[in-house]
Amino acid sequence: MKREEIVERLKARLAKEKIVIREETDPLDLDSFLIVELIAWAQDELGIALDVAAMDFSVFASFDALAEHIFDTQ
């Protein structure tokens, strides 16, 4: 999957939570429940399994870091 597609689909998913991304460098303020939901969403909707045991949770600090991590994991 192209990075651009991941970015657009991730933006749409976050929009459902009323999180608007204006710039890819925008910080994310996610609670633990939403982090778990996003991990499941990546698996279910994108077919990308994020390895929670090996994950550095700083990838959830910004939109760009999260999108890049999902892209790199595929």
Query: pLDDT (tens digit, 9 = 90+) per residue, 40-74?
Result: 999 999 999 999 888 898 999 999 999 999 999 99
Query: 15 phi and psi, to 5 degrees?
Result: -60, -30
Question: pTM (2 decimals)?
Answer: 0.91
What number of other Cβ atoms are within 10 A of residue 24's Cβ? 15
Give yes or no for a contact between 35 and 66, defined as CB atoms under 8 angstroms apart. Answer: no
Give the domain range for residue 39. 3-73
pLDDT digits (tens, 9 = 90+) for 2-42: 999 999 999 999 999 999 999 999 999 999 999 999 999 99
The number of distinct structural domains making up the chain is 1
Give yes or no for a contact between 62 and 25, defined as CB atoms under 8 angstroms apart. Answer: yes
Give yes or no for a contact between 55 and 61, defined as CB atoms under 8 angstroms apart. Answer: no
What's the CATH code of the domain at 19? 1.10.1200.10
